[in-house]
Amino acid sequence: MIKQGLQAFSGKRVLLLQGPAGPFFARLAKELRHTGAQVFKVNFNAGDWFYYRRCAFNYRGTMEEWPFWFESLLRRLDIDTILLFGDCRPIHRVARAIASQHGLEIGVFEEGYVRPDHITLERFGVNGYSQHPRNPEHYADQPAPGPKAQPVGRTYWAMAWYVFCYFTIGSLGKPFFRHYRHHRPLTLLEGLPWIRAAWRKQWYRWTERGIQEQLTGPWDHRYFLVPLQVFNDSQITAHAGFDSINHFIETVLRSFAQHAPAETILVFKHHPMARGHRNYAALIRRLARESGISPRVRYIHDQHLPTLLDHARGVVVINSTVGLSALHHNAPTKVCGRAFYDMPGITYQGSLDKFWFAAPQARPNRELYQHFRAHLIAETQLNGSFYKLLKLPGVCAGLLWNTQKKPSS
């Protein structure tokens, strides 16, 4: 979908559904119109409306009425391309199924597979729904990696501000969209965990001082890193095979206790976006105590992830894109859920119980990984951010399309 750049949308009739929190879809619509595309938008709550107020349809019906309304809109507008953010949201699952039945082009945006300087745009679906071949032979003859991406810089505070405004306006505007049910709580109370997250970040900086130095010093290549995902991540609910993050933690810890070498330790790393929403300290302490391995278990939060990946003996994930980062750092990686990058030669294919001993011999095939990554970037990744504009001429949606001239590295 992205290899031809923006010109691939020239003359198309494009329908935008929900986008990331912020003005990204409004900016994207402006770019698409410059190519000659006709662009339409559907808003589902006041947060959507706040960021895309002009020339949009406001859907105020129920989920039961949505399929019929959506199908009627497709016919009335003669839509041929649909763009959306996140393919596991209830409204998007329905829309994607109907669009597929009608043979329409579907583009799914998501946070970047290759971070921090990319976002994802993939045909049909992302992550577990990705159409990438799971056959390593497919990538053997792929071209070498292209030029380096333009650095985006820090996006956290821009994203936090957009999310705050989205949830605030969405909550205040509920009377106008009374049937809408968000995939996360759309209330003013959602701001409280973000305040708690800011306080916890400072607390953990103090209480966990020195831990990274221990992991990169005395515990160098003697620890297994388990990066946790956000508790309500759609990849957990749709593609994981686990009931919850708690279930995943218990599975990994008990397997480690029974099968890992005695000289190793287990390190759980909390997801920064869930810092204010969840705390697994009590659960991890209890499970470690019951398994008799309390001295061999750590629970950390804001340490520098690339450094941790460089010094880990192995990495265990459900299906997070952190797994791709682990592979990029040549760390043996075990995927416990369903992930498009889980294939022979790249990730460990045996059981979790066997991974603890097999990890030192399970590093990814470097050449295969490089070809796979190059294919991934060429086919699905756009240089840029949903939340921060690249400072380049002609870039109004924050993205550097693949056919645009990239700056020299």
Candidate CATH numbers 3.40.50.1380, 3.40.190.10, 3.40.1010.10, 3.30.70.260; the one for domain 5-158+371-400: 3.40.50.1380
Distance CA 222, CA 355 (A): 14
Distance CA 383, CA 409 (A): 14
When the pLDDT of each residue in the chain is averaged and rounded to a whole number, the result is: 90
Distance CA 373, CA 327 (A): 10
Domains of the chain, residue spans: 5-158+371-400
Predicted local confidence at residue 407, as pLDDT: 47
Q: What is the mean pLDDT of residues 91-99?
A: 95
Q: What is the mean pLDDT of residues 258-263?
A: 98
Whether residue 407 is preceded by a cis peptide bond, meaning omega within 30 degrees of 0, is no
Alpha carbon of residue 62 to chain centroid: 28
- pLDDT over threshold 80, residue 393: no
Q: What is the mean pLDDT of residues 119-137?
A: 88
Distance CA 163, CA 222 (A): 39
Predicted local confidence at residue 141, as pLDDT: 75
- pLDDT over threshold 60, residue 403: no
Question: Six-digit token pair at 209?
Answer: 């001082």
Residue type, 191: G
Tens-digit pLDDT profile for residues 350-363:
999 999 999 999 99
Distance CA 5, CA 400 (A): 9
Sort strands 399-400 and 381-384 into parallel, antiparallel or unpaired: antiparallel
Percent share of the chain, pLDDT over 90: 66
Q: What is the pTM of this model?
A: 0.88
Tens-digit pLDDT profile for residues 34-82:
999 999 999 999 999 999 998 899 999 999 999 999 999 999 999 999 9
Q: What is the mean pLDDT of residues 208-233?
A: 93
The H-or-E segment that residue 58 falls in is strand 57-58
Distance CA 194, CA 273 (A): 9
Identify the band that residue 153 occupies on the pLDDT scale cut at 50, 70 and 90: confident
Identify the band that residue 101 occupies on the pLDDT scale cut at 50, 70 and 90: very high
Q: What is the mean pLDDT of residues 197-202?
A: 87
Distance CA 370, CA 379 (A): 14
Identify the band that residue 214 occupies on the pLDDT scale cut at 50, 70 and 90: very high
Taking the CA atoms of the chain, what radius of gyration do you get in angstroms? 22
Torsion of CA 269, 272, 276, 280, to 10 degrees: -10
Predicted local confidence at residue 409, as pLDDT: 41
